[in-house]
Amino acid sequence: MRFAIYGSGGVGGYYGARLAQAGHDVTFIARNAHLHAMRHGGLRLRSALGDVILPRVQATADPKDVEAVDAVLIGVKTWQLPDVIEGLPAVLRTDTAVITTQNGVDAPEELASAVGRHHVLPGLVKLFTSVSAPGHIEHIGGPGSITFSEWDNRSSDRVTRLRQAFMNSGVTVETTPDITAALWTKFLFVTSFGGLGALTRVPIGILRGMPETRSLLTECMHEIRMIAERSRIALPADIVARTLAFIDQQPEQGISSLHRDIAAGRRSELDAWNGAIARRALKIDVPAPINTFIYHSLLPLERLARVAAGG
């Protein structure tokens, strides 16, 4: 199949490398030093699930250079979606699927409003990755799985073909009876763990291990669960206990992309994570004091990063 990987950092680079190694026609859309490295030295993925070395890859900064594809994997951060929306039509044909992977619950609708709901397959991934150096992707932990579906969760030929393509590339493909609930399930995890990790500047092992921060994690999750319930999102009754059990299984040095970006003084997804919870809580009159505190506490750093980036 023909794929475009729009945003070729940790997430896009991981799945694009797996797909390309399996023989799929993959074009990476990237920029700056990472693009230069891929053009001149290929792409390397280091992973406990198997390394991938691609001496040559197709890579460009301009989506107009990409022929129409069967699927586009969107691997950028939520705040980068406006740039993607501007360039995305160049790679689409009538039946091209656009798979979202963003940590948050608003990205599928944002993309659908721009390119049409029929193109978008809401999705999520489960892995810890980063760009360790230009042209090098490091898979730190997590199952490396991907989940995506039609909006109404029905079976379709394109979803079946895409799932098979990923599975044949060595990627675990998880299915779900309710993609919206699956997105919120991950949202509950990343927002609580990511927000508190960014605020305390400690990895997941310490957050879960100290009674005080474990209690804060639990309360963060309960706030999100209550907002989902009020919004008629069908999360499992034991979602908080399940998520804590999942956290206990993660590598103890794991940190979120939000934590990493804020610590480095870069723009982050704070607005789409704890910020989204704070706004929804206010709108529907559900208390969310911990998520709101996290958002307000980190917002000055986020705004400084935006000024430094010129945005």
Position 275 scores a pLDDT of 97
What are the chain's domains?
2-177 (3.40.50.720), 180-309 (1.10.1040.10)
| pTM over the 0.85 mark | yes
Name the DSSP class of 78.
G
- Residue 302 in this model has a pLDDT that exceeds 70: yes
Query: pLDDT tens for residues 17-32?
Result: 999 999 999 999 999 9
CA–CA dist 293, 296 (Å, integer): 5
Query: pLDDT tens for residues 189-225?
Result: 999 999 999 999 999 999 999 999 999 999 999 999 9
Max CA-CA distance within the chain?
54
Query: pLDDT tens for residues 123-136?
Result: 999 988 889 999 99
CA–CA dist 128, 142 (Å, integer): 6
Angle between helices 179-200 and 239-248 (to 10 degrees): 50
pLDDT band at 311 (very low <50, low <70, confident <90, very high): low
Which is higher by pLDDT, 104 or 146? 146
